[in-house]
């Protein structure tokens, strides 16, 4: 119940934002078309450091493993920090096609626009506008070529309008005004390519830019991305995942049970099976099996509910009972009280996904923990690719790890002289994890197996009866 109250207060606090956002987001979604993934699909996410971080893919994956637990799919993180479209072309066969993906999603642009060209120190007399245009022209050319190459692997391609660069928020990092407009141009070009090449299209830029513009009217330091103006945090990735799932027109309901006791016992269900149903004018009891689990919200992502109606649109586990005698009732699952509601609330419908402590929620949390473990394993593997594709000559990839020490030290003094802390950790992680690469791949596969054992729904019994604490009628 505490969680329900918290969510209601949150909705009240940001109700205006949600109201106008619902309308604009529907308009955005209408621009695109997609379909939910099916059993056996192998899905690659290709991009730069924002994709390498694994955030938005993780939230999408958690939706799929809880909503469609019997339809096994596999996600592959194919992001490499610092990449532009031409870099992806260079690693396409060995780093993407090697997974034999049935679906490929691509988000590029943040590095392609060359953010350095928008710094204050760059003089306009240096032909800067021509250089900026040249960067965008290269992006346009390479994206066209990339889509053609991707089609040799699969027809299921989705282009993603890149996430925003926040050049408006009052942060310590230099603004670099114009970068976000360049990213909008990239998104507009992707839309044109998508229409001509008949690919899917998802728009991250518009939803994130709209949220930024609205929130910054009240707080000039607000940003949907991080302090570097580039990389979204957990909330930003959660919002990106919401938009991706909405584009796919995935299912809203975990399950739906509507019981009408007015004229006998009329029951409508969605995505679940009911048996052993019994009722009186003040009690309802039945055994049921859902085909899905509720989406397990991560605490770090809760802030995202201020900006997108994720629960309303994508996490409805509804039970409604109409015609029950006026009064207060306990809702029990497997003889455990999970909430107390009035007859009026029961008639309107309860979203079980918003209740803490249900057996289904507890099962979902176990699935989430396994998914987070999987994400951590994938992060180690992608770090290896990041170092190899961005820092190591190919001839050094198979060299003994200790023999690379001198080369890494030279990079710290040259390429990473202004980011030694970052690079020192990067290279140390590479030193530790490179000898374990094959073992990590096996760990990843074992964790995927574990997830598809943990996520199978089981039977539960729901009982609705007069509240022990308050049996007054009204």
Residues 6+ apart with CB under 8 A from 153: 96, 97, 100, 101, 104
Q: How confident is the model at residue 473 (pLDDT cuts 50, 70, 90)?
A: very low
How high is the pLDDT of residue 470? 46
* Position 34 confidence tier, pLDDT thresholds 50, 70, 90: low
Cβ-based neighbour number of residue 285 at 10 Å: 15
Residue 281 has pLDDT above 90, yes or no: no
Tens of pLDDT, residue by residue over 193-216, are 999 999 999 999 999 999 999 999
pLDDT tens, position by position, 242-280: 999 999 999 999 999 999 998 778 999 999 999 999 999
pLDDT tier, 21 (very low <50, low <70, confident <90, very high otherwise):
low
Q: Which residues contact 138 (CB under 8 A, 6 or more apart)?
A: 84, 85, 86, 112
pLDDT(421) > 60: yes
Mean pLDDT value across residues 61-84: 97
Band the pLDDT of 363: cuts 50, 70, 90. Answer: very high
pLDDT at position 264 is 74
d(CA 423, CA 408): 9
As a whole number of angstroms, the distance between CA 88 and CA 47 comes to: 8
> What is the separation, in whole angstroms, between the first and last Cα of the chain?
22
Task: Decide: residue 306, CB within 10 A, 0-12 exposed, 13-18 middle, 19+ buried.
Answer: middle
How far, in Å, CA of 145 to CA of 86, rounded?
9
Contact 238, 208 (CB under 8 A): no
Enter the pTM of the model.
Answer: 0.92
* pLDDT tens digits, one per residue of 232-247: 999 999 999 999 999 9
pLDDT at 89: 97
Q: Compute the distance between CA of residue 453 and CA of residue 204 in angstroms, rounded to an integer.
A: 33
Q: Smallest Cα–Cα separation from 430: which of 411, 444, 454, 413? A: 411
Q: Average pLDDT of the chain?
A: 91
- Name the strand (E) or helix (H) holding 141: helix 128-150
What is the average pLDDT across 414-418?
Answer: 95
Query: For 335, left (φ over 0), alpha (ψ -120 to 50), or beta?
Result: left
Residue 472 has pLDDT above 50, yes or no: no
**Hey, which residues does 253 pair with through a beta bridge?**
316
* Contact (CB, 8 A) for 162 and 108: yes
pLDDT at 383 over 80: yes
Q: What is the pLDDT of residues 123-148, one digit of tens each?
A: 776 789 999 999 999 999 999 999 99
- In this prediction, residue 306 carries a pLDDT of 94
The alpha-carbon radius of gyration of the chain (Å, integer) is 25
Report the distance separating Cα 124 and Cα 119, nearest Å: 11
User: Exposed/middle/buried for 90, CB within 10 Å: 0-12, 13-18, 19+?
Assistant: exposed
The residue that leads in pLDDT, 359 or 34, is 359
Q: What percent of the chain has pLDDT over 90?
A: 88
The band of 86, judged by pLDDT with boundaries at 50, 70 and 90, is: very high
Number of H helices, E strands in the chain: 15, 14
Predicted pLDDT at 122 = 78
| Cα 8 to Cα 15, 305, 311, distances in angstroms | 10, 11, 12
| Banded model confidence at residue 121, pLDDT cuts 50, 70, 90 | confident
SS3 state of residue 317: strand
Instruction: Classify 178 in phi/psi space as left (phi over 0), alpha (psi -120 to 50) or beta.
Output: left
């Amino acid at each position: 119940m505490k969680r329900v109250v918290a969510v209601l207060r949150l909705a009240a606090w940001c109700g205006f934002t949600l109201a106008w956002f619902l309308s604009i987001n529907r308009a955005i979604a209408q621009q695109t078309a997609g379909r939910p993934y099916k059993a056996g699909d192998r899905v690659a996410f290709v991009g730069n450091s924002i994709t390498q971080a694994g955030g938005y893919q993780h939230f999408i994956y958690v939706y799929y493993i809880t909503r469609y637990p019997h339809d096994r799919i596999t996600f592959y993180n194919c992001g490499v920090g610092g990449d532009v479209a031409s870099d992806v072309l260079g690693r396409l066969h060995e780093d993407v096609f090697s997974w034999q993906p049935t679906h490929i999603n691509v988000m590029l642009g943040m590095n392609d626009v060359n953010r350095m060209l928008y710094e204050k120190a760059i003089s306009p007399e240096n032909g800067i506008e021509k250089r900026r245009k040249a960067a965008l022209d290269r992006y346009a050319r390479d994206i066209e070529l990339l889509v053609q190459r991707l089609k040799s692997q699969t027809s299921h391609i989705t282009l993603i309008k890149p996430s925003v660069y926040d050049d408006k928020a009052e942060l310590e990092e230099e603004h670099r005004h114009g970068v976000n407009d360049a990213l909008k141009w990239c998104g507009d070009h992707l839309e044109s390519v998508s229409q001509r090449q008949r690919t899917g299209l998802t728009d991250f830029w518009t939803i994130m830019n709209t949220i930024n513009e609205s929130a910054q009217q009240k707080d000039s330091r607000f940003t949907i991305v991080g302090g570097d103006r580039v990389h979204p945090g957990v909330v930003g990735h959660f919002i990106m995942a919401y938009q991706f799932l909405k584009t796919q027109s995935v299912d809203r309901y975990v399950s739906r049970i509507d019981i009408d006791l007015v004229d006998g016992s009329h029951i409508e269900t969605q995505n679940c099976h009911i048996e052993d149903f019994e009722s009186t004018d003040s009690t309802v009891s039945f055994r049921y099996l859902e085909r899905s689990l509720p989406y397990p919200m991560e605490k770090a992502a809760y802030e995202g509910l201020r900006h997108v109606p994720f629960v309303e649109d994508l996490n409805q586990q509804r039970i409604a009972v109409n015609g029950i005698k006026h009064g207060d009732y306990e809702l029990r699952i497997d003889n455990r009280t999970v909430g107390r509601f009035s007859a009026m609330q029961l008639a309107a419908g309860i979203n079980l996904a918003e209740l803490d402590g249900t057996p289904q929620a507890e099962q979902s949390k176990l699935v989430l923990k396994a998914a987070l473990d999987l994400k951590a394993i994938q992060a180690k593997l992608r770090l290896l690719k990041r170092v190899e594709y961005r820092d190591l000559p190919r001839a050094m990839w198979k060299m003994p790890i200790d023999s690379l020490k001198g080369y890494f030290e030279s990079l710290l003094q040259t390429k990473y002289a202004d980011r030694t802390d970052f690079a020192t950790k990067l290279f140390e992680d590479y030193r530790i994890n490179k000898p374990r690469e094959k073992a990590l791949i096996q760990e990843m596969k074992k964790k995927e197996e574990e997830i598809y054992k943990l996520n199978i729904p089981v039977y539960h019994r729901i009982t609705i009866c007069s509240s022990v604490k308050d049996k007054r009628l009204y």
